[in-house]
């Protein structure tokens, strides 16, 4: 029933970034080192991930994979995400809407700021969050993991609209 289409060559919009600087270029080797396999489905997901920075939900990734390969099956995506998390290339938590949220490149750790009015999410880089990390360490001996720092509230833009 004609699965296993290789959509790769059709969709490398930005050939230069398909295998970007980072982690993704060696996934294939990482997998092989562990006796795991490099499949077209995984290739598709890696391509999508390599174009993604920050955070995505599982459902979003499936959607994007489907654009590359319409035959994408959810369970395959989720299973591959599990594997990638085992390899340490990914980390997941849960977003404000309760869905799985995957963080790409956990090396570059940062927190998140969510505006309840406009729904926008911003990253809080490590230096800006330093004050939080310090406060929790000193007060409680708690080691903050920035990738699991989530701050809700209202952004300057939305607050401004109301005020006027």
The binding site for DNA (CB under 7 A) comprises 1, 3-4, 31-32, 35-42, 57-59, 62, 71-76, 78-80, 83, 99-100
Please choose which of its own copies, DNA, none residue 35 contacts, taking the beta carbon within 5 to 8 angstroms, the exact cut-off set by kind: DNA
Please choose which of its own copies, DNA, none residue 161 contacts, taking the beta carbon within 5 to 8 angstroms, the exact cut-off set by kind: none
Tell me if 156 sits within 8 A of 122, measured CB to CB: no
- Compute the least distance from the CB of residue 147 to its own copies, in Å: 8
Pairing mode, strands 100-104 and 110-115: unpaired
Secondary element (H or E) of residue 123: strand 121-125
Residue 61 falls in which region: left (phi positive, over 0), alpha (psi -120 to 50) or beta:
alpha
What single-letter DSSP state applies at residue 162?
A: H
Q: Give the range of 11-19, 30-38, 74-82, 154-162 binding its own copies by CB under 8 A.
A: 154-162
Interaction pattern, residues 103-122, with its own copies; x per rule: CB under 8 A:
----------xxxx-----x
Tell me if 23 sits within 8 A of 30, measured CB to CB: no
What single-letter DSSP state applies at residue 155?
A: -
- Compute the least distance from the CB of residue 65 to DNA, in Å: 10
* Residue 151 binds its own copies (CB under 8 A): yes
């Amino acid at each position: 029933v004609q699965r296993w289409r290789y959509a790769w060559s059709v969709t490398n919009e930005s050939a230069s970034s398909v295998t970007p600087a980072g982690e993704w270029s060696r996934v294939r080797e990482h997998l092989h080192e562990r006796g795991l396999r490099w499949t077209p489905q995984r290739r598709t997901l890696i391509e999508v991930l390599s174009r993604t920075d920050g955070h995505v939900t599982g459902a979003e990734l499936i959607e994007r994979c489907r654009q590359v390969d319409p035959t994408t099956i959810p369970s395959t995506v989720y299973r591959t995400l599990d594997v990638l998390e085992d390899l340490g290339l990914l980390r997941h938590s849960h977003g404000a809407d309760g869905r799985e949220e995957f963080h790409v490149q956990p090396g570059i750790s940062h927190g998140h700021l969510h505006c309840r009015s406009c729904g926008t999410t911003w990253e809080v880089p490590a230096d800006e969050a330093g004050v939080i990390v310090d406060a929790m360490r000193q007060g409680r001996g708690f080691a903050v993991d920035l990738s699991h720092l989530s701050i809700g509230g209202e952004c300057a833009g939305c607050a401004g609209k109301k005020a006027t």
